[in-house]
Amino acid sequence: MRAMEGLRVLSVAVASGKVGYALFVGQRLTDWGTSRIAGLSPTVAVRTMRKWLARFEPDVVITEAIPGESRKGDRSRAITAALARVARDKADLLDVTMERVQAFPNKYDEAEALAIEFPELEPYLPKRRRLWETESPRTILFEAVALAKLLFADPAPVMARAMG
């Protein structure tokens, strides 16, 4: 495994009908994206994740540990679990599962703060939705970035837990 500053970290987040990823080399954001297709089912998500693993060759994969009281639905939970299993089954990959702590009043404030830290994401900022509008598929991208930032904030205990 590479030195911490050179680790390739793939952070993956799931929400209703969408999956987002953010790839970091060290703490530098190098690639990101979203997939509605991966949000269709656990089977499709697993195929998508395998493609991402082959393309990005990460050392670490981060997925969300979804607490019982979360508003995430059954499909999002099943997809997240399937993605974590794919990562866990690869011997040369460190699978990290973390509970995502919401540090902002809402996901739009969080996205704006992340776009300041990562200016390359500014064009992807989701528009604040009105009550009757559906959520932008771009919000999941910022959830993936936020999940990675949790690891970077205090990597030692998280990595130690993941390594057993």
pLDDT digits (tens, 9 = 90+) for 106-156: 889 999 999 999 999 999 998 887 787 777 778 899 999 999 999 998 765
Separation of alpha carbons 64 and 104, rounded Å: 17
Rounded mean pLDDT of the chain?
87
pLDDT score at 1: 40
Which of 23-32, 37-46, 56-65, 71-80 is predicted least confidently? Answer: 71-80
Number of structural domains (the chain) is 1
Q: Is the pLDDT of residue 10 over 80?
A: yes
Separation of alpha carbons 100 and 143, rounded Å: 8
The fraction of the chain above a pLDDT of 70, given in percent, is 91
pLDDT digits (tens, 9 = 90+) for 60-85: 999 988 767 777 778 888 999 999 99
Separation of alpha carbons 28 and 14, rounded Å: 22
Q: Where does the pLDDT of residue 99 fall: very low under 50, low under 70, confident under 90, or very high at 90 and above? A: confident
pLDDT score at 156: 57
Residue 68 lies in a domain: yes
Predicted TM-score (pTM) of this structure: 0.89
H or E element at residue 119: none
Domain that holds residue 58: 4-155
Residue 164 lies in a domain: no
Residue 27 lies in a domain: yes
- The CATH number that applies at residue 113 is 3.30.420.10
